[in-house]
Amino acid sequence: MVSVIGYYTTRFGELWDKSLYDLVAESIRGVLQETKLSAKQIDAVFIGNMLAGVLENNLHSTSKVAEILDTHIPVFRAEAACASGGMAFHLGTKYLEANAGKTVLVLGAEKMTDYSPEETTTALIGAASGEEQGAGLTFPGLYALMAQVYLQKYGYSRDVLSYVSYKNHYHGSLNDKAHFQKKITLEQARKSAVVAAPLGVMDCSPISDGAAALILTADQPLSRKNKSIRVLSSEVASDAISLKNRAYIDGIEATKIAADKAFDKARITRSQVGVAEVHDCFTIAELFAMEGLGFWKRGEAGKRITALDTMLGSGGKLIINTSGGLKAAGHPVGATGIKQVGEIYLQLTGQAGKRQVEKAHYGLAHNVGGSGGTAVISIFKTL
Amino acid sequence: MVSVIGYYTTRFGELWDKSLYDLVAESIRGVLQETKLSAKQIDAVFIGNMLAGVLENNLHSTSKVAEILDTHIPVFRAEAACASGGMAFHLGTKYLEANAGKTVLVLGAEKMTDYSPEETTTALIGAASGEEQGAGLTFPGLYALMAQVYLQKYGYSRDVLSYVSYKNHYHGSLNDKAHFQKKITLEQARKSAVVAAPLGVMDCSPISDGAAALILTADQPLSRKNKSIRVLSSEVASDAISLKNRAYIDGIEATKIAADKAFDKARITRSQVGVAEVHDCFTIAELFAMEGLGFWKRGEAGKRITALDTMLGSGGKLIINTSGGLKAAGHPVGATGIKQVGEIYLQLTGQAGKRQVEKAHYGLAHNVGGSGGTAVISIFKTL
């Protein structure tokens, strides 16, 4: 059995004075300090990063991490676009299943704000197919296409999307590591300038810098039992990179496939989950997530979200994106999947402070790559 | 126990008429056909690729591979510079150790010749530290520095390097998938134009396109027993990315560390290995490999290589780089680590044709990232 025994995240945001490896080093120092482990007690490292190659000609990050740790242990880099962090986490759990008694460091990092918006946007669309890139599509454009189909098919107006933004910004206001820590009104979300119809500025996650790190162990006596959670399952599903080659685009099928497997393996029901971090790169993506994960039925999310019972303080039984989600906590791509697991870790160990969810024993993290070509879903339990 | 049950490689070379994913698709088709498996019998895929992000803004290759396979199974990308293929292979073996009864596809691919030499060279140096990049160092430059230290310390002339090139070009002449299939003389190697002293053109591996694929299974009844080999061990070691932060630079310490672990785990001695593919990105690197792997003592390789008893037909007990190595078979970065394992597979199953080594029961593959920041070593046995 694999356990998460510690977590540290840097502030997410526009961190002009920090380089990628400043952030990586801070997250490593932070998580080692938190768990009182030394670098010598780590057996392997997994790092999720998407863009350092393209943006700063910085590949072989594995060796750079070894240099920071001053170690000869194996270091692996996972890349699957915005699911890079989730994939690093997943591979870390598999590694531990094959290596009982070991301890691994799993981290994710991204530095996105040292470049022009054009450079960063162009690099990001590297996660889509060549044909989609050639057609001039950007990420807001891809999700806008999907949103159009969804809203038209089920008869919703663009307004329903605002509830996701409103809720997640409220959660972000309670998270001192979030990129945006400011509440917004439903009206502000609704009236934000259109980026790619039907998506407005307030429907889009930001370009952020940040790094996050976790410590995982397998079959170890846990000295920090009250600060540990169990990984019940971690599953990955893929889909075609091109929207045109998907079974449907008013949702993300990879999420559904990975979720079915993950719940099966965890042997729990959807209703047992009390807290989840889901991939809201755009507001529409949170609706897709809630349906794909099986929390809500297909086509129903546009209505269900307006009840706002996934918001802290609502009294709802399933609270979503307490970190602020990608929307408000920020989306330093490679770090996102790690932060999601970290937020669930904080919630299930009662360390979430002002945004603590009551009585949650099971949590879930859901990370998506690109427009849905990759989904990673992990389910956790308190000890 | 993990077994390799099939291998396919495309031709390596300047393949102007083929894209990265043409090569990936060919390698997948080839290995499925070879093993008579359908895509539905594969449980996960690992792909090694270094440069597609930087050179063609092509990230999220995991999802693209899922599209080619028309599948929803997990696909993982490993990147560790020139060791990307070896890392994909290593992660594939770990995945199988955690998932008995499964079958995985492991592939590596690189498309390098559609760009100007400046573009490709600049992208490649992304594997070195920012400081080394800023100093204007290229890969030949880094290895030239290491070669200078080695040759001076042990009192060898540049001439000893020619033997590696001579031998590997001879081996390449027997490999119809090799980039270069032409023998050269010792004289030609010795007199080749200097690229970065002491390294000449004939000391450098070429810029190549290519893809290679393997099928691995764990704890499966093997229907192709006479065409299968066992993975006895696969070990990874890291080192600092910067030469200045290494314990020594007249050799590659990561190779030594990974080799000691790999031989320990495989429970065989160096002298039992009959055939090995080692990472000869430059001729000096083959000397470092022979010493780091423990086949030859430190400082001795400059002399030992001149005996040419690691060459096919020499009657030597350990034959090195029968594929032609990176030097003659070519070095499509992500594909290299997979081709190395594939060559050992061909040798140990008696399918190596004109370059078949006699009576080898144990083989080794050795893949290095950058100037030595990563080393992956895997040891194999006939069934």
Q: Cα(B69)–Cα(A376) distance, rounded to whole angstroms?
A: 19
CB contact under 8 A, B79 and A80: no
Q: Give chain A positions within 8 Å (CB) of B127.
A: 59-60, 63
Q: Bridge partners of B277?
A: B365
- Can you tell me whether residue A360 is helix, strand or coil? coil
DSSP B40: G
CB contact under 8 A, A238 and B58: no
Residue A310 to residues A170, A189, A296, A317, Cα–Cα distance (Å): 12, 18, 12, 8
Closest CA to B242 of B125, B147, B354, B161: B125
Please report the pLDDT score of residue A18 as a whole number: 97
Q: Cα(B4)–Cα(A125) distance, rounded to whole angstroms?
A: 36
Please report the pLDDT score of residue A43 as a whole number: 97
Q: Give chain B positions within 8 Å (CB) of A292.
A: none
CB contact under 8 A, A62 and B373: yes
Residue A331, number of CB atoms within 10 A of its CB: 26
Q: Cα(A42)–Cα(B168) distance, rounded to whole angstroms?
A: 39
Q: For residue B113, what pLDDT band results from cuts at 50, 70 and 90?
A: very high
Nearest to B126 among A53, A79, A129 (CB): A53
Average pLDDT rounded to a whole number, residues A121-134: 95
DSSP-derived pairing of the beta strands B103-110 and B44-48: parallel
Average pLDDT rounded to a whole number, residues A118-146: 95
Nearest-CA residue of chain A relative to B90? A76
Average pLDDT across chain B, whole number: 97
Residue A258 has pLDDT above 80, yes or no: yes
In angstroms, how far is CA A319 from the centroid of its own chain?
Answer: 15
- Can you tell me whether residue A39 is helix, strand or coil? helix
Closest CA to B377 of B301, B300, B276: B276
Closest CA to A329 of A159, A170, A200: A170
Active site residues of A: 82, 331
Q: Cα(A255)–Cα(A250) distance, rounded to whole angstroms?
A: 12
Across A364-373, B224-233, B349-358, least confident range? B224-233
Residue B221 has pLDDT above 90, yes or no: no
Omega of the bond prior to A117 within 30 degrees of 0, cis? no
Q: Looking at CA atoms only, how far is residue B59 from chain A in angstroms?
A: 5
Q: For residue A220, what pLDDT band results from cuts at 50, 70 and 90?
A: confident
Q: Give chain B positions within 8 Å (CB) of A51.
A: 53, 59
Per residue in A151-192, pLDDT tens? 999 999 999 999 999 999 999 999 999 999 999 999 999 999
Closest CA to A306 of A157, A204, A198: A157
CB A271 within 8 A of CB A294: no
Q: Looking at CA atoms only, how far is residue B160 from chain A in angstroms?
A: 30
Cβ contacts of A312 within 8 Å, gap of 6 or more: A170, A171, A174, A319, A322, A355, A357
The dihedrals phi and psi of A212, each to the nearest 5 degrees, come to: -140, 150
Best B19, B72, B121, B255 member to test A by mutation, with max A CBs in 10 Å, is: B72
Q: For residue A61, what pLDDT band results from cuts at 50, 70 and 90?
A: very high
Q: Looking at CA atoms only, how far is residue B292 from chain A in angstroms?
A: 15
Nearest to B370 among A60, A80, A237 (CB): A60
Q: Cα(A283)–Cα(A147) distance, rounded to whole angstroms?
A: 9
Nearest-CA residue of chain B relative to A97? B98
Please report the pLDDT score of residue B225 as a whole number: 77
Per residue in A344-364, pLDDT tens? 999 999 999 999 999 999 999
Per residue in B269-301, pLDDT tens? 999 999 999 999 999 999 999 999 999 999 999
Average pLDDT rounded to a whole number, residues B329-351: 98
Please report the pLDDT score of residue B100 as a whole number: 87
Q: Cα(B101)–Cα(A297) distance, rounded to whole angstroms?
A: 35
DSSP-derived pairing of the beta strands A273-277 and A319-320: parallel
Average pLDDT rounded to a whole number, residues A241-260: 98
The dihedrals phi and psi of B354, each to the nearest 5 degrees, come to: -60, -20
Q: For residue B224, what pLDDT band results from cuts at 50, 70 and 90?
A: confident
Alpha helices, DSSP H only, in chain A? 20-35, 52-56, 61-69, 84-98, 117-124, 130-134, 139-154, 162-172, 186-190, 253-266, 283-292, 301-304, 325-329, 333-348
CB B35 within 8 A of CB B6: yes
- Can you tell me whether residue B376 is helix, strand or coil? strand
CB contact under 8 A, B127 and A60: yes
Quick one: how many helices (H) and strands (E) in chain A? 14, 12
Omega of the bond prior to B198 within 30 degrees of 0, cis? yes
Q: For residue A31, what pLDDT band results from cuts at 50, 70 and 90?
A: very high
Q: For residue B222, what pLDDT band results from cuts at 50, 70 and 90?
A: confident
Would you state the structure tokens that stand for residue B59, as one six-digit string?
């990230």
Residue A93 has pLDDT above 80, yes or no: yes
Three-state DSSP string of B127-151: HCCHHHHHCCCCHHHHHHHHHHHHH
DSSP B351: -
Q: Cα(A96)–Cα(A326) distance, rounded to whole angstroms?
A: 28
Please report the pLDDT score of residue B220 as a whole number: 75
Residue A221 has pLDDT above 90, yes or no: no
Across A112-121, A136-145, B1-10, B222-231, least confident range? B222-231
DSSP-derived pairing of the beta strands A273-277 and B319-320: unpaired
CB contact under 8 A, A67 and B242: yes
Phi-psi region of A308 (alpha: psi -120 to 50; beta: other; left: phi over 0): left
Residue B307, number of CB atoms within 10 A of its CB: 11
Alpha helices, DSSP H only, in chain B? 20-35, 52-56, 61-69, 84-98, 117-124, 130-134, 139-154, 162-172, 186-190, 253-266, 283-292, 301-304, 325-329, 333-348
Question: What is the pTM for the complete model shown?
Answer: 0.97
CB A80 within 8 A of CB B77: yes
Phi-psi region of B13 (alpha: psi -120 to 50; beta: other; left: phi over 0): left
Q: For residue B226, what pLDDT band results from cuts at 50, 70 and 90?
A: confident
Q: Cα(A179)–Cα(A166) distance, rounded to whole angstroms?
A: 15
**Beta-carbon contacts below 8 Å between A and B:** 204
Cα–Cα–Cα angle for A128, A129, A132, rounded to 5 degrees: 90
Per residue in A128-139, pLDDT tens? 999 999 999 999
Cβ contacts of B215 within 8 Å, gap of 6 or more: B4, B5, B6, B7, B31, B32, B35, B37, B42, B103, B104, B105, B106
Closest CA to B376 of B109, B179, B82, B95: B82
Q: Looking at CA atoms only, how far is residue A314 from chain B in angstroms?
A: 36
Q: Residue A313 is which amino acid?
A: G
Nearest-CA residue of chain B relative to A68? B240
DSSP B176: T
Best B59, B84, B95, B125 member to test A by mutation, with max A CBs in 10 Å, is: B59
Closest CA to A374 of B342, B63, B352: B63
Average pLDDT rounded to a whole number, residues B350-363: 97
* Catalytic residue, candidates B171, B279, B331, B366: B331
- Can you tell me whether residue B74 is helix, strand or coil? coil
Residue A36, number of CB atoms within 10 A of its CB: 10
Please report the pLDDT score of residue B218 as a whole number: 93
Best B42, B62, B95 member to test A by mutation, with max A CBs in 10 Å, is: B62
**% of chain B residues with pLDDT over 90:** 97
Cβ contacts of A152 within 8 Å, gap of 6 or more: none
Q: Give chain B positions within 8 Å (CB) of A239.
A: 63, 66-67, 72
Average pLDDT rounded to a whole number, residues A109-115: 96
Average pLDDT across chain A, whole number: 97
Q: For residue B159, what pLDDT band results from cuts at 50, 70 and 90?
A: very high
